[in-house]
């Protein structure tokens, strides 16, 4: 409590200080706690590893709203300085490969004043692409009026690349399985021992090299990429399958 506040309460005969004093102290403590919470929140926002953007509530569509604040992570992620960002809208992050479906989902959430989560491609100041997981929530004041939108964006480029590599491996395995099925059908149709030996060479050429390539790629992904436990387990299964396939071809 500021100096003099207590004397004011005591000396003012119109105040019942025994009732007023506890309330005054409680309010002072609450204000102090609120200030501490704000400082803690500010520190969390400033030092967050994810990009945090505060958008104006009005007017226009979501990506047409001016950015009122961005943290340091936004600058690190996009290459735009704070001064450059707050003069612009989120359109500076959009480009040819930005998903129109994701933007439409954001627009609908804006109209309904609801939180929204999308994954889309953003563009840095230098024009390079990167994937983000974008969460946007409306922010209301104490009276319930929506005064801002807050967007938290996480760079998920590594995860997306790992997912793409996994999909490529799956397609390659499917092609190998298709080749095996075709070769097996040919063997059953021809059924000659001499042809069997010739077909074995074909199997080695068509199967062994792709199997080794798949195994090697999976091992590199395990070492270099940041993967979830399920993705790591899936890659290990693929490696083991490729090794078994290679052994079958050798035998």
What was the pLDDT predicted at 9? 42
**DSSP track, 7-68:** HHHHH-TTS-HHHHHHHHHHHHHHHHHHHHHHHHHHHHHHH-SSEEEEEES-SS-GGGSBEE
Largest CA distance in the chain: 117
pLDDT, averaged across the chain: 75
What was the pLDDT predicted at 199? 54
Element holding 155 (H helix, E strand): strand 146-155
State mean pLDDT over 171-197.
65
Q: Examine the pLDDT at 190 and tell me if it is beyond 60.
A: no
Q: Examine the pLDDT at 114 and tell me if it is beyond 70.
A: yes
pLDDT digits (tens, 9 = 90+) for 142-151: 777 777 888 8
What was the pLDDT predicted at 192? 47
What was the pLDDT predicted at 10? 44
pLDDT digits (tens, 9 = 90+) for 201-225: 555 555 556 666 677 767 777 676 6
Give the least confident one: 27-36, 123-132, 165-174: 27-36
Residue 96's pLDDT band (boundaries 50, 70, 90)?
A: very high
pLDDT digits (tens, 9 = 90+) for 3-13: 444 444 444 55
* Rounded Cα distance, 3 and 75, in Å: 44
């Amino acid at each position: 409590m500021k100096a003099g506040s207590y004397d004011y309460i005591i000396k003012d005969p119109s105040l019942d200080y025994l009732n007023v004093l506890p309330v005054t102290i409680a309010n002072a403590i609450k204000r102090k706690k609120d200030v501490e919470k704000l400082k803690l929140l500010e520190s969390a926002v400033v030092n967050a590893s994810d990009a945090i953007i505060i958008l104006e509530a009005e007017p226009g569509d979501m990506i047409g709203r001016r950015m009122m604040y961005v943290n340091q992570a936004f600058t690190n992620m996009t290459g735009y300085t704070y001064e450059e960002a707050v003069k612009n809208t989120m359109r500076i992050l959009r480009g040819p490969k930005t998903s129109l479906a994701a933007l439409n989902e954001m627009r609908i959430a804006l109209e309904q004043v609801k939180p929204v989560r999308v994954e889309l491609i953003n563009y840095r100041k230098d024009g390079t692409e990167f994937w983000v997981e974008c969460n946007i929530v409306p922010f209301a004041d104490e009276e319930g009026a929506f005064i801002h939108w807050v967007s938290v964006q996480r760079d998920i480029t590594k995860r997306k690349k790992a997912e793409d590599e996994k999909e490529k491996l799956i397609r390659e395995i499917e092609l190998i399985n298709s080749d095996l099925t075709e070769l097996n059908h040919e063997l059953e149709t021809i059924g000659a021992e001499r042809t069997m030996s010739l077909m074995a060479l074909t199997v080695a050429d068509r199967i062994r090299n792709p199997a080794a390539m798949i195994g090697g790629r999976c091992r590199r992904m395990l070492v270099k990429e940041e993967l979830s436990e399920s993705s790591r387990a899936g890659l290990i299964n693929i490696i083991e399958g490729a090794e078994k396939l290679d052994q079958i071809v050798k035998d």
